[in-house]
Structure 1
Amino acid sequence: MTIDERHGRFERYAERLLDRARRHGASGAEVCVEGRLASLTRFADSEIHQSVTEDAVRVSLRYVRGRRHGMAVAGRLDDSALDSLVERAASNAAGTAETDDWPGLPEPGPIPEVTGAYAAATAEATPELRAGVVRDVIAAADAAGAAASGSFATGAVTTVVLSSRGVRAAQTRSDAWLVTVHASPGGGTGYAETCAVDVAHVDGAALGREAAGKARAGDHPVVLPAGEYPVVLEEYAVADVLAKLGRFGFNARAVQDGQSFAQPGLRVATDLVTVWDDGTDPLGLPTAFDHEGVGKERVSLIDRGRCDRVVHDTGTAARAGVRSTGHALPAPNPVGPLPVNMFMAPGRLSREELIGRLDRGLLVTRFHYSNPVDPKRGIVTGVTRDGVFLVEHGEIVAPVRDLRFSQSYPDVLRRVGAVGRDRRTVRGWFGGVPVLGDITAPSVLVDGFRFSG
C-alpha cells in the first residue's frame, strides 16, 4: 500500500467517525488515526532469537458537546468499534463538568513542509535485511571476544488528524532503531545506539565495534568512593539530561501547575548550552504536526544558558494567551505538551579533547533507570551503566563500577565547561510517553557531578 493509499484509507475512517459523532449529537469532534507497521529483530548472546512484525492502529475521538468534552480510544476500525468509540466518548463527555477555560478544538493553521521524514527502504525492510545488520553487530562482538544482545526495529507510522473545525493533516514517517549491549567475560559491558529515518544510514559494524570496545575496556572495574567528580558525559547521558528537562521543565503544563523550574531569562546552564526543539529538522526524525493537527514550530528552550520558551498544546496555549507550538501528545494525555525533537548546539572540541581536559575525573557513557525525585528543582536519581572510566591527566586509566547519583540536572548544565563538536541522534525516552521522539546531542565536559556510590 502506497503512502497516498494509506492516507486515503485512514482519512475515510476518520470521516466516517466524524459523521457518526455529528449524528450522535456532538457539537464538535476531533479524530486522530495512527497506524504503525513495525518489525523487530531481537538478539541475545550473539544469536538472533526473534523476528516479529506488528500492524497496529490506534484511533482516538475527542467528542465535544457545548463546554463538555470526552475522549475514547480504540484499536480497531470496523463499524462496531467505531460505534462503540462514539458511545464511550459521548458518555465520557456527559460525565464531565463544563470547562470554563477550555478553548475548544484548534482551528486549521499552517503546517510546515517537511523533507526527509520517510524512506521506503525502512518501511519495507525485510527480516533478512535486519538480520544482515545484526550479523555485523555480532561479528564485531565475536572479534572482541564479547557477546552481543539487543534489538533492531524498522517501520513506519502514519498519522491522520481530522476535525469538525476543518483541520486536515496527514503524514507518514519511517524510523530504524538499533540498540546493542555487549558483555565481555571480565564483567565489562558496552552500549551503543542509533536511529535514522533511512535504514541505509544504520551501520551495524560501527555500532558493534563501539559497544565491543567499551565492553572489553570495562573488564575488572575498580570501586571508587562516593563524591564529586568532574565528568565527560557522552551523548547518551546528555540525551537523558535533555529528555528529563524537556518533560519536567519546558512543558507548559508543568509550568502552569507550578511544578517546573523554567522561568523566562532564568540561568539554567552556562553560555555554552543552547537547546531547541524542531520537528522539521531532517537531522532528527522529522514531523510536520502534532496529535491535534497543529503545525510544528521551532521553539528555543535554552538560549546561551538562559531559559527562553516552553512548548504548548492548544489547552496550555489558551491559558497562557499564546498560540500552540504544535506539541500535543496522543490523547488522552495526562502529561502535557513535550519537546520531542530536541537539539543541543555543538561545540568545538573532539571527544579526545574533552577527555584530555580531565586531570582526574570520569568518562560516563549513559544513565540508566533515571527518575525525577523533585521535578520543580530538576533533581533526578539514577545510575551509570555500560561504561564508566577513570581518567587521570587526560588519559583513561581504569574502568569503574557503576555509581548511583541524585543530581539536579539544571546544575549539571550550569557546570558545563566545554561541549563536543560531534553529535549523535538517539531515540528520546520521555518516561513511557507513547510518541516517536528523538534527541540530537553532543558530549559535554561538566566541572562537577556528585555520585552517592
Structure 2
Amino acid sequence: MIERERTKEYLEKVMQTKDVDEIEAGLYYSEKGTTRFANSIIHQNMVVEEPYLWIRAIKEKRVAGVSTKDFRKEGIEKAINKVKESLKGIAPDKEFKGLPKPPVGMRIKKSQEPPFISPEERARAVEKVVRVCKRYNLKAFGVIHNTRTSLGVANSKGIFNYGMSGVTFASVTAMDDSASGYAVEIKKDFSEIDFQELAETAAEKALRSKNPQEIEPGRYTVLLEEPAVGEMLSFLNWLEFGAKRFREKSSLLAKKIGKRITGQNITLYDDYAHRAMPGFAFDFEGYPKKSVVLIKNGIAKGVVFDSFYASLLGKKNTGHALPQPSPWGPFPLNLIMEKGKDKKEELIREIEKGILVTRFWYVRVVDPDQTLITGMTRDGTFMIEKGKIAYPIKNLRFLINIYETLSRVRKISVERKLYGEDVSFVLAPALLIDDFNFASKTEY
C-alpha cells in the first residue's frame, strides 16, 4: 500500500506545475495476491503490484492527460513535461467547464488498511476446497484473488482525498469427466469466506449435473441464481446508467425518465457506503460519491454524473468519474438491487416447471440500444418440476432484452451476493422470472 502522506507528497509535486491553468493528479495502487489451482493442485501463486500516477492538465480549454509508473523525481518531471507538450497539439474543448471544486464541508471518512493475506493463507484455503472435492471423487479448479488498493486524488482547485480498500474473490469449479459445478464468493474480508461451504456448493452442483438431459429451447420460468443476475445487471449497468449514453439519448433509460421501465418490484441504486461494498468514498476526480437511485419500483429515475457531464447537462455531480480521459463517461461502481422477502428454497417451491441457472458464460451484447444480450448457461443447469430440482439438463443459449426480462420478475430472493472484481461490483439477489427466452440448445 502507498500510505496517505506518501501519496500526498507525490501529488503535491504535480500540483506545483507551472504554465497550466488547472491540473489534476491521481495515484492508484493495486496489490493483488493470486492463487490458481487446477486438477486439485496449485499451479500459480503470485503477487502483482500495479501502481500508476495519472496527470490531467488544462490550458485555455485544451485538456491533455498522461500516466506513468515511474515515481522518481525524474519520472514525475518527465510525465509533467509530456503532458505540457501534449497540450500544444490539442484543440480546445469548448464543452469543458473546468475541474471540480471541493464541495462545501467535504469530509471523507478515514478508511482502514485492509489486511495482507499471505500465500500460505490462500494455500490453506485451497486445501479445504481440495479435501471437499476429493471426498466426492471430483477435481477442484479455481482461483483466489486478494486485492488491496489505495487511491489518492488532488487538483489545483483544492481537492485532496485518499482512501484504501480491500476485497477477496474466490471461485471454485468442481469437475469430473462428465459434469461440473460452480460456486463463487466475494467479500471485503478474506476471513468472511467459508471455503469448505463454497466447495460443498460446487461439488453438490457437479454431482447433480451428471447425465444431463436435452430439452428444447423456448420460453421457460427460470430461477437465476446470484452470479447469473450479477452478470446480467453488470451489462445493464454498463449500457444504461452513465450520463454519457444518457446525453447521447442512446440509452433506453434516457427516454423513460419518470416512466415505468421494469416491473414494479425492481429497485436499483448505486451506493458506495453499503456495508458489503468494497471501494472508495470518492471518485477518480477526488469528488465525494453520492448514493443515486437509478430505478425505483420500476420507474426510471436517473443516472450518475461526473463533473464534465454534470456541467454539460445542468445536473449535480454525483461523484462517479472514472480515470480521465474515459470513453465510457461516468459509471456506477457499486450497483445494488433491492432484496426481496423469500429464500431461494421458497422460490424453487413456487416453480411448477422451470429451469435453475447457476451462472452465465460468454455473454455478449447484441444490440446496446435495446439492452439485448446473449450468452450460455454453465456449471449447473437443472430442470425444476413441482417445486423440486428434478434432473440436470444440457446447457442452453439465451437471447434476452434485459429490461423486458426485469419486467417479468415474479419474486426476488432475500439472499444477495457480490458479483464483480477489481473496482466494479454488483450486489445481486436471485430472481424468479417468467418467460425467459432460451434461443437454442447445446450438445453438452
Which TM-score tier does this pair reach, normalised by the shorter chain? over 0.9
Write the mapping of 1:145-294 to structure 2, written as runs, cut at 5 A.
145-185=137-177, 187-262=178-253, 263-294=256-287
Aligned to 1:28: 22
Whether the 8 Å CA contact 1:251–1:310 is kept in 2: the answer is yes
Tell me by how many angstroms 1:64 deviates: 0.6
Code of the residue aligned with 1:168 in structure 2: it is F
Take 1:217 and 1:392, find their aligned partners in 2: how far apart are those partners? 15
Are residue 442 (structure 1) and residue 432 (structure 2) matched?
no
Deviation digits for residues 403-425 of structure 1, max 9, x if unmatched? 11221011110000111111112
Write the mapping of 1:310-389 to structure 2, written as runs, cut at 5 A.
310-389=303-382
Take 2:132 and 2:107, find their aligned partners in 1: how far apart are those partners? 41
- SS of equivalent residue, structure 1 residue 289: coil
Whether the 8 Å CA contact 1:118–1:198 is kept in 2: the answer is no
Tell me by how many angstroms 1:281 deviates: 1.4
Write the mapping of 1:352-431 to structure 2, written as runs, cut at 5 A.
352-427=345-420
Deviation digits for residues 24-67 of structure 1, max 9, x if unmatched? x1111000101112211111111111211122211110011111
Tell me by how many angstroms 1:282 deviates: 1.5
Whether the 8 Å CA contact 1:423–1:442 is kept in 2: the answer is yes
Moved over 6 A (4+): none
Take 1:120 and 1:222, find their aligned partners in 2: how far apart are those partners? 46
Code of the residue aligned with 1:246 in structure 2: it is N
Q: 1:417 to 1:331 in 2, by over 3 A?
A: same
Tell me by how many angstroms 1:427 deviates: 2.0
Deviation digits for residues 364-385 of structure 1, max 9, x if unmatched? 1111121212111111111111
Take 2:35 and 2:125, find their aligned partners in 1: how far apart are those partners? 10
From 124, 130, 148, give the equivalent of 1:138: 130
Take 2:28 and 2:140, find their aligned partners in 1: how far apart are those partners? 33
Whether the 8 Å CA contact 2:114–2:164 is kept in 1: the answer is no
Q: 1:296 to 1:382 in 2, by over 3 A?
A: same
Take 1:112 and 1:307, find their aligned partners in 2: how far apart are those partners? 30
Code of the residue aligned with 2:252 in structure 1: it is F
Tell me by how many angstroms 1:331 deviates: 2.2
Aligned to 1:15: 12
Take 2:369 and 2:88, find their aligned partners in 1: how far apart are those partners? 35
Deviation digits for residues 259-285 of structure 1, max 9, x if unmatched? 211031232221111111101111221
Whether the 8 Å CA contact 1:416–1:446 is kept in 2: the answer is yes
Segments of structure 1 that go 5 or more residues without pairing to the other structure are 429-434
Take 2:375 and 2:345, find their aligned partners in 1: how far apart are those partners? 26
Take 1:200 and 1:26, find their aligned partners in 2: how far apart are those partners? 48
Write the mapping of 1:60-71 to structure 2, written as runs, cut at 5 A.
60-71=54-65
Take 2:156 and 2:99, find their aligned partners in 1: how far apart are those partners? 8
Tell me by how many angstroms 1:118 deviates: 4.2
Take 2:229 and 2:70, find their aligned partners in 1: how far apart are those partners? 39
Code of the residue aligned with 1:290 in structure 2: it is D
Identity %: 29
Tell me by how many angstroms 1:114 deviates: 4.7
Whether the 8 Å CA contact 2:358–2:377 is kept in 1: the answer is yes
Take 2:35 and 2:424, find their aligned partners in 1: how far apart are those partners? 21
Code of the residue aligned with 2:68 in structure 1: it is A
Aligned to 1:432: none
Aligned to 1:431: none
Are residue 6 (structure 1) and residue 11 (structure 2) matched?
no
Take 1:154 and 1:351, find their aligned partners in 2: how far apart are those partners? 28
- SS of equivalent residue, structure 2 residue 360: strand
Deviation digits for residues 88-146 of structure 1, max 9, x if unmatched? 3223332222111112101112556558x64543xx11111111111111122112221
Take 2:393 and 2:97, find their aligned partners in 1: how far apart are those partners? 53
Aligned to 2:67: 73
Q: 1:104 to 1:113 in 2, by over 3 A?
A: closer
- SS of equivalent residue, structure 2 residue 221: strand
Tell me by how many angstroms 1:258 deviates: 2.2
Aligned to 1:43: 37
Q: 1:141 to 1:112 in 2, by over 3 A?
A: farther
Name the TM-score, length of structure 1 as normaliser: 0.93
Tell me by how many angstroms 1:298 deviates: 0.3
Aligned residue-pair number: 437
Take 1:400 and 1:93, find their aligned partners in 2: how far apart are those partners? 59
- SS of equivalent residue, structure 1 residue 370: strand
- SS of equivalent residue, structure 2 residue 3: helix
Take 2:44 and 2:99, find their aligned partners in 1: how far apart are those partners? 43
Task: Please provide the CA RMSD for this pair.
Answer: 1.6
Code of the residue aligned with 1:254 in structure 2: it is R
Deviation digits for residues 137-178 of structure 1, max 9, x if unmatched? 112211222111111111310100011111100001111111
